[in-house]
Structure 1
Amino acid sequence: MHIGILTGGGDVPGLNPCIRSVTLSAIALGWRVTGFRRGWEGLLKIDPDDPASIAAYTRPLDREAVRGIDRMGGTILHTSRLDPRTVTDGDRSDHVLRVLDALGVEAIVTLGGDGTLRFSAHLAALGFPVISVPKTMDNDVFGTDYCIGFSTAVSRSVEAINALRTTIESHERIGVIELFGRRSGETALLAGFLAQVDRTVIAEVPADLDRLLPLLGRDKKSRPANYAVCVISEGATIGGTEGNDMTKPASQRFEAGVGQRLAREIEARLKQGTVVQSLAYLMRAGEPDAMDRMVGFAFGGLAVQLIQSKRTGRMVTLSDGKYSHVPIDTLLGGTKTVDVGGLYDADAYRAKLMRIEGMPMFLY
């Protein structure tokens, strides 16, 4: 058996442990593993009749190639944000299939977020054996409770928020800390709760400045150290301020982020100084934490087991604390966002725990 593996979308810690797990699990079965560089873009760059292009965009994976990579963040296979159906010269799905056939790849494991896995589902619908692995620090892939990268992003955010308190307190200001999360505020909600910040604004609930700003003002005055901290999701909307074009990747959005806009309103209306920090790529930088190593290893092993048992066209998942799998097109069936009614007090801009018994570990 010859299997392929690729990573697409934004990098997250935990991808390399998964790549290592897939590779070692496959080698134990006597299989051959080929890594494709730069996600779906790499497959489009390959000309099956051109050995140079094959060498440039593939990487044979053996035990030595994956030695120690579990301790590294990011992805050794590199990544891209590209759907072969939406390139300028039209749908290139046929080219992807032609490359896989020419290279003798019999099944592929794809690690990605919503965009990467949507094309994975499309490829499976065309009849090619695919196993998809959900990863995104926003934890917003529909159909799974957990995505690789989420735990590390939350841990990084909590560490940074608590570190920033020293500067915010020293200057007696209101800190505004912006976290990634374009469609889902789950990362901000959990990080804000664990860091016990004063207020958290999530993507799912527009911020009413007439309510939020007085709360922050009171938070600051009520603390002997005379400071307050607000966490805000990148995708949050603020009433009365100019919107952000959230349809573009962060690297292509040049206007002021939502954190900067909120800080301007605080300074203008409350006459208070601010400290503004967008954690951005620091949330996904560095080595994975223990949770993302564990999930990466487990998802990779499960992916190979599914291929071995000829159960392809599946997405590996964590559901109710157990490893499982669902049809690969499950993510197309809905949108995963914060349970606002159960987990968020929209009037106070704070996480709330309505009940604990029976809830999963991350309380989502």
Structure 2
Amino acid sequence: MRIGILTGGGDVPGLNPCIKAVVNRVAHDGHEVVGLRRGWAALLQHDPDDPSSAAEWFQPLTPSSVRTIDRTGGTFLHTSRTNPSRVRAGEVPDHLASLAAGEGPFDFTRHALRVVEALGIDVLIPIGGDDTLSYALRMHEEGVPVIAIPKTMDNDVHGTDYCIGFSTAVTRGVQFIHNLRTSTGSHERIAVVELFGRYSGETSLVTAYLAGVDRAVISEVPFDVDRLGELLLADKRANPSNYSMLTVSEGATIAGGDMVVSGEEDAYGHRKLGGIGELTAALLKERTGEDMIVQVVGYLMRSGAPDSLDLMVATNYAVMAADLALEGSSGRMVALRGGTYTSVPMSATREGVKRVDVDELYDASQYRPKVRHVTGKPMFLY
């Protein structure tokens, strides 16, 4: 059997251990693994009529070649946000230019299927979030055997309680917040910490919950700046060190406003987020007169090696995915449900959205975590 493996979307700690575990699981039985470089871009950019292009887009993976990759974060296969079913006119490869009549976007899935067949790939194992796995589901529906592995530090892939990268992201966030307390307290300011999280505020919520942050703004609940300012000012005055702290999801919105975005849409219809922290701090300064510290944690949340939990989940997901592939399964996604490793139909990823349970986990009037009870909840309350 020849297995293709790829990573798409944002990088998270745990991807390299996951790749390594797949290779080690199947190689000793004589199966072959090929890495697709830069995610789904490999299937778009490779020209089967020009075999020389394969070296840039595909990499044979052996136990020897992956021996040390688990010692670092990120993905050594690289990644992209390419969607072969939605390619803009300016991004069409030269070898497909004759098929790109009009303004686009263009669907080159037929070409992607041709590449899979030309390479002799028997099953694909994509590691990704909602966007990457949405195209994985398309490939499955087109007849390609696919076993998916969920990863995203937002932990918002529907169908699983846990995605690779989430624990490390929260761990990093808690560490940075505790470190930032020294400067915030020394200067007697209000600190605004912007964390990743587009549509789900779980990263902001759980990080604030564990770090004991005064207030947390999440993507699910638009916030009133005046009310938030009053609360943070009261928190500061009640603190013997005369400071207060706020976490903000990058996808959070001010009541009546929109997400703070920039740049063009990517192949999945998303524009780059970032800036809500700066905007919130500026508005809070106007209202409170207090000096602010603004810290965008951003990419640092998903940099470096995984923590032990992400390392364990990544390894176990890889073993499960490899076993399903060798058994001849298709259209499945490995998952954690109720604390147990399992698999679910890949179609579960589009059967709903995964968001913070505001009623159970958040006080929307006080802008802070408020966990009513934990009995019966998943490990990360989500």
Same fold (TM over 0.5): yes
- After superposition, the Cα gap between the structure-2 partners of 1:241 and 1:83, relative to the gap in structure 1 and judged at 3 Å, is closer
Deviation at 1:21, TM superposition (A): 0.8
Q: Which amino acid aligns with 1:304?
A: A
Alignment partner, residue 286 of structure 1: 304
SS for the counterpart of 1:213 is: helix
Decide which moves more: 63-72 or 174-183: 63-72
CA distance in 2 between partners of 1:52 and 1:61 (Å): 18
Q: Is the alpha carbon distance of 1:109 and 1:57 closer, same or farther for their aligned partners in structure 2, counting shifts above 3 Å?
A: same
1:44 and 2:62 are equivalent in the alignment:
no
Tell me how far apart the structure 2 counterparts of residues 264 and 241 of structure 1 sit (CA, whole Å): 15
Alpha-carbon deviations, 1:24-45, whole Å to 9, x = none?
Answer: 1111221000001000112211
Report the residue type matching 1:347 in the other structure. S
Q: Whole-Å Cα distance in 1 between the matches of residues 265 and 12 of structure 2?
A: 19
Partner residue in 2 for 1:331: 349
Deviation of the 1:360 alpha carbon: 1.7
Aligned with 1:163: secondary structure?
helix
Query: Which of 334, 338, 341 does residue 316 from structure 1 map onto?
Result: 334
Which sections of structure 1, spanning at least 5 residues, go unmatched? Answer: none
User: Which residue matches 1:139?
Assistant: 155
Aligned residue runs from structure 1 range 251-266, under 5 A: 253=272, 257-266=275-284
Alignment correspondent of 1:207: 223
Quote how far apart the aligned CAs of 1:242 are: 6.8
Give the match for residue 8 of structure 2. Answer: 8
Secondary structure of the residue aligned to 1:342 is helix
Give the superposition deviation at 1:52.
1.7
Q: Which shows bigger deviation, 238-247 or 3-12?
A: 238-247
**CA offsets per residue over residues 195-230 of structure 1, 9 Å max, x none?**
000000000000112321100000000111100000
Corresponding position of 2:173: 157
In the alignment, which of 89, 101, 104 is matched to residue 117 of structure 2?
A: 101
Whether contact under 8 Å (1:241, 1:261) holds in the other structure is: no
Counterpart of 1:268 in structure 2 is: 286
**1:232 equivalent among 237, 245, 248:** 248
Residue in structure 2 matched with residue 18 of structure 1 by the alignment: 18
The alpha-carbon distance between structure 1 residues 167 and 279, as it changes in their structure 2 partners (threshold 3 A), is same
Take 2:152 and 2:61, find their aligned partners in 1: how far apart are those partners? 24
2:46 is equivalent to residue 28 of structure 1: no
Give the structure 2 partner of residue 219 of structure 1.
235
Name the CA distance, whole Å, in 2 between partners of 1:63 and 1:348. Answer: 52
Task: Tell me which amino acid in the other structure corresponds to 1:101.
Answer: E
What are the equivalent positions in structure 2 for 1:162-201 lying under 5 Å apart?
A: 162-201=178-217
Whole-angstrom CA distance in 1 between matches of 2:325 and 2:272? 40
1:85/1:92 contact within 8 Å kept? yes
Distance 1:139 1:120 in 2: 18
Q: How far apart are the structure 1 equivalents of 2:259 and 2:123?
A: 43
**What is the RMSD computed on CA atoms of the aligned residues?**
1.7
Report the equivalent of 2:129. 113
Shift of the 200–248 alpha-carbon distance from structure 1 to 2, 3 Å rule, reads: farther
* 1:362 partnered with 2:380: yes
User: In the alignment, is the contact (CA less than 8 A) between 2:18 and 2:317 conserved in 1?
Assistant: yes
Q: 2:141 aligns with which of 112, 121, 125?
A: 125
- Supply the AA of the counterpart residue of 2:119: L
Query: Counterparts of 1:121 and 1:28 in 2: how far apart (Å)?
Result: 29
Query: In the TM superposition, what whole-angstrom CA distance separates every residue of 1:263-307 from its partner, at most 9, and x where no partner exists?
Result: 011110100000000000000000011011101100110001111
Q: Is the 8 A contact 2:261 2:275 kept in 1?
A: no
**TM (normalized to structure 2)?**
0.92
Shift of 1:84: 0.6
Q: Report the CA distance between 1:113 and its aligned residue.
A: 0.8
- Report % sequence identity: 51
Alignment deviations for residues 145-172 of structure 1 (CA, whole Å, 9 cap, x no partner): 0000000000001000110111111110
Q: Give the gaps of 5 or more residues in structure 2.
A: 89-99, 101-105
Offset at residue 238 of structure 1 (A): 1.1
Distance 1:241 1:125, change over 3 A: closer
2:164 is paired with a residue whose SS is: coil
**Bigger Cα displacement from structure 2, 54-63 vs 346-355:** 346-355
Q: TM-score, normalised by structure 1?
A: 0.97
Provide, for residues 298-317 of structure 1, a one-character-per-residue CA deviation record: whole Å limited to 9, x for no partner. 01100011111111110111
Distance (whole Å) between structure 2 residues aligned to residue 143 and residue 240 of structure 1? 31
The DSSP-based 3-state class of the residue aligned with 1:338 is coil
Within 2, Cα distance between the matches of 1:206 and 1:143?
26
CA distance in 2, matches of 1:248, 1:260: 22
Q: What's the CA shift for 1:252?
A: 6.2
Q: List 4+ stretches of structure 1 deviating above 6 A.
A: none
CA distance in 2, matches of 1:301, 1:115: 23
CA distance in 1, matches of 2:304, 2:259: 31
